[in-house]
Amino acid sequence: MSGGIRVEEFLERITPFWQPHQGQLEFLRNRAAVQVLACGRRWGKTEACAVRTVASLFEPSPTQHLLLAPTLDQARLLFDRTVALLEALGETAKVRSSPYPRLQFGPHVVSARSGHVPRSLRGLGATDIVVDEAAYLPESLITEIAMPMLATTDGRLTLISTPHGKNHFWRFFHMGQRGEHGVWSRQAPSSESPFVSAQFLAVQRELISERAYRVEYEAEFLDGAGQVFRDEAVQKCLVPRAPVAEPPFAIGIDWARYGDYTAVAVLSGDRADCALVELHQFHGTSWSEAVARVADVVERFPHASVLCDATGLGDPVLEWLRSALPDHKIDGLTFTSTVKAELIDNLAWLFEQGALTMAPDPALLRELQHFQAVPSSGGTKLGAGSGFHDDLVVALSLAARQLRRRYRARVQVAGPRVFSKGKRG
Ligand SMILES: Nc1ncnc2c1ncn2[C@@H]1O[C@H](COP(=O)(O)OP(=O)(O)OP(=O)(O)O)[C@@H](O)[C@H]1O
Ligand SMILES: [Mg+2]
């Protein structure tokens, strides 16, 4: 869109079925080359970007849009809203969904890709790139892949996300606050959106820790106080592509209890150099189904060492898993506060050493970010705080506990040589 007036025209056209709230309107009217929206959950970030994308499909000159997110499912969310909006306008586009979602509307093209496949993105050009959950993608994807794609087209970059510590997303946000390098940024809590009810926010505030609420719903860039896993250390472990799976494998399982999720993490390598090759989360399934789904994952990794939480309910479930997988060695671990502290310490150590490599998974990254050490009457309480999940972190720590140490050859050093003057023979 080449001027503010055209945005107004487009918004007028969609008024019968969509009106922006004040914050979205400011974003849609802004013309900066780089825009950063650091807003709370449900604020309407994804929706605002879908509207902006559709608006530019009515420009006379061809546009090429790339919608990026940590996972293809997330990128598809933005893509689907773009398609829905076009349909609501009574327009038809040529849409295909594989190998990745792509639509063609006259000379305009919109495609959605996950941030896991940057190599195939290299060399492409784009006039507009939107990065959803930008704080959860590796910085290199934005600076080394997305920005060069815009260089020849003089294109626009939009980064939207809830904050995730003081990482690259925070740095872009601050450039915008200082008005540097053509960056514009805006920060807003979820409550700015009239579509987010006060009652919903009140319930969330009760459910999750205060810190998690401030990050997720008030869009605050909090530093690492109380955090067990430092954002910076975790960020350094991120790679854009899921690492190649090579044995030896170590699998950790955290069974769902009290309505939580069952989580499975598969690591490969050893303590000096390991990679997260798979991560699964199953919700709301019966015990027999949960065991069957976990067994399906484990079966694909012959000779993997397997460790699961065997506290309380976990114990009989462990027996079911053993009978489902008679050829695997499956161990159980009963959690006490000391055992949990050791597990978590060990995982934090891997992050601090930069020994772990993983593709960004927003659910895991959120859990890591909100995992806290809180002083309590019985010592330090470790966990996500009430309401927030920590099953992915626990599964990952159970996998990490089984990683082997790399063998270090020890050279036998002789003791000091004593030359005695004693008599011979
Ligand atoms: N201007 C609007 N008019 C009507 N509904 C809206 C508007 N903006 C957002 N919504 C609705 O609010 C909800 C949240 O919007 P959206 O998914 O875009 O938020 P988000 O900030 O991307 O959230 P998340 O952090 O969960 O990704 C959706 O149901 C969406 O349809
Ligand atoms: Mg969104």
Q: Which of 167-176, 249-258, 354-363, 403-412 has the lowest mean pLDDT?
A: 403-412
Summarised one tens digit per residue, pLDDT across range 345-399 is: 899 989 989 999 999 898 999 999 888 876 555 555 666 655 568 899 999 999 9
Q: Is the CB of 24 under 6 A from ligand 1?
A: yes
- Residue 402 CA to residue 339 CA, distance in Å, equals 14
Supply the pLDDT for residue 2. 44
Which residue has the least CA distance to atom 9 on ligand 1? 44
Which helix (H) or strand (E) covers residue 183, if one does? strand 183-188
DSSP state of 136: G
pLDDT band of 423, cuts 50, 70, 90: very low
CA of 67 to the centre of ligand 2 (A): 12
Where are the strands (E) in 237-329, listed by range? 249-254, 261-270, 273-283, 305-309
Summarised one tens digit per residue, pLDDT across range 27-45 is: 999 999 999 999 999 999 9
Domains of the chain, start order: 4-216 (3.40.50.300), 231-401 (3.30.420.240)
Atom of ligand 1 at shortest distance to CA of 47? 18
Burial (Cβ within 10 Å: 0-12, 13-18, ≥19) of residue 239 = middle
Q: Is the CB of 190 under 6 A from ligand 1?
A: no
Helix pair angle (287-299, 314-324), 10° resolution = 50
User: Is the confidence at residue 4, as pLDDT, over 90?
Assistant: no
CA of 136 to the centre of ligand 1 (A): 19
Q: Is the CB of 58 under 6 A from ligand 1?
A: no
Task: State what percent of residues in the chain have pLDDT above 90.
Answer: 57
- Pair 292, 324: CB distance under 8 Å: yes
Which residue has the least CA distance to atom 11 on ligand 1? 44
Which residue has the least CA distance to atom 31 on ligand 1? 47
Q: What is the mean pLDDT of residues 53-57?
A: 95
Q: Which of 248-252, 313-317, 330-334, 412-416 has the lowest mean pLDDT?
A: 412-416
Q: What is the mean pLDDT of residues 55-64?
A: 93
pTM, 2 dp: 0.74
Which residue has the least CA distance to atom 29 on ligand 1? 42
More confident residue, 138 or 96: 96
Rounded to the nearest integer, the mean pLDDT of the chain is 87
Q: What is the mean pLDDT of residues 78-95?
A: 95
Burial 108-117 (b: 16+ CB within 10 A, else e): bbbbbbbbbe
Length of the chain: 425
User: Which residue in the block uniquely carries the two structure tokens 């140490």?
Assistant: 405
Q: Is the CB of 161 under 6 A from ligand 1?
A: no
Summarised one tens digit per residue, pLDDT across range 145-194 is: 888 888 888 899 999 999 988 889 999 999 999 999 999 999 999 999 99
Q: What is the mean pLDDT of residues 252-256?
A: 91
- Pair 412, 251: CB distance under 8 Å: no
Q: Which of 118-122, 327-331, 399-403, 418-422 has the lowest mean pLDDT?
A: 418-422
Radius of gyration of the chain (CA): 25
User: Is the confidence at residue 414, as pLDDT, over 60?
Assistant: no
Which residue has the least CA distance to atom 5 on ligand 1? 195
Classify strands 330-333 and 261-270 as parallel, antiparallel or unpaired.
unpaired
